[in-house]
């Protein structure tokens, strides 16, 4: 049951199970995305071409997310003590059309936009009641093995820089905070805006266990 003081304790490894989207269920993912901006966006911001709210509908975004559940490469679902608690969208970078037109991934870098060997962790959602317990750190770390086992040559993210004492709204932090990527071993490779960085891990041998 959600609620209660115990939910403020950091999540321990023995409480956590992280599975590919295809091993989860629509009901579990819907529970995670049931509040705030996530309920409307459904983690499709980077997958919708054109103007997000003009060129997509709630029904279409729902269908797109359901399709991700049919492909275990669409993302990861985290369970805490058996309860669905968090989600991270992680796929080949080419699966996110909006990244092609954003300057953040490409500014100051010579990157092939069509390189399917580079994966991206683009969106984190933690269910209300599980926030503030470090779940995004676990999710960021889980994306590394997930991408590598599926043949990725590299994985990157586009997080925000957070500063002590300065509030960042939950909606803005859907891309993650720089610290969670740094703690997982990602390295900063570019700093395209004052508040955003590109963090990346390159794999020498993608198929190695």
Domain ranges of the chain: 15-108+118-202
Mean pLDDT value across the chain: 88
Residues 90-127 pLDDT 10s: 999 999 999 999 999 999 999 999 999 999 999 999 99
Give per-residue pLDDT as tens, 57-82.
888 888 888 887 776 668 999 999 99
Of the two residues 164 and 160, the one the predictor is more confident about is 160
The 10 Å CB-count burial string (b at 16+, else e) for 94-107 is bbbeebeeeeebbe
Whether the predicted pLDDT of 33 surpasses 80: yes
CB–CB of 188/108 below 8 Å? no
Does the pLDDT value for residue 12 go beyond 50?
yes
Q: Does residue 69 contact residue 26 with C-beta atoms inside 8 Å?
A: yes
Per-residue pLDDT, averaged over 19-28, amounts to: 92
Q: Which residues have CB under 8 Å from 135's CB, separation 6+? A: 11, 16, 78, 80, 85, 86, 126
Task: State the Cα torsion 130-199-29-34 to the nearest 10°.
Answer: 60
pLDDT confidence bin for 206, thresholds 50/70/90 = very low
Residue 88 backbone dihedrals phi, psi, to 5 degrees = -135, 130
Architecture label for domain 15-108+118-202: 3-Layer(aba) Sandwich (3.40)
Largest CA distance in the chain: 49
Q: Among 61-65, 117-121, 129-133, 183-187, where is mean pLDDT lowest?
A: 61-65
């Amino acid at each position: 049951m959600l609620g209660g003081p115990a939910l403020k304790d950091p999540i321990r490894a023995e409480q956590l199970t992280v599975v590919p989207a295809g091993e989860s269920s629509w009901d579990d993912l819907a529970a995670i995305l049931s509040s705030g901006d996530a309920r409307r966006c459904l983690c499709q911001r980077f997958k919708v071409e054109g103007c997000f709210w003009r060129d997509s509908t709630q029904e279409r975004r729902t269908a797109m997310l359901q399709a991700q559940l049919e492909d275990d490469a669409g993302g990861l679902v985290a369970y805490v003590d058996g309860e669905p608690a968090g989600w991270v969208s992680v796929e080949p970078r080419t699966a996110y059309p909006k990244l092609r037109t954003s300057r953040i991934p490409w500014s100051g870098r010579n990157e092939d936009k069509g390189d399917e060997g580079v994966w991206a962790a683009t969106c984190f959602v933690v269910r209300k009641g599980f926030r503030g317990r470090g779940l995004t750190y676990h999710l960021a770390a889980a994306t590394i093995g997930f991408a590598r086992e599926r043949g990725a040559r590299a994985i990157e993210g586009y997080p925000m820089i957070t500063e002590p004492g300065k509030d960042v709204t939950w909606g803005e932090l859907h891309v993650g905070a720089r610290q969670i990527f740094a703690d997982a071993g990602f390295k900063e490779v570019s700093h395209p805006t004052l508040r955003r960085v590109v963090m990346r891990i390159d794999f020498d041998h993608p198929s190695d266990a």
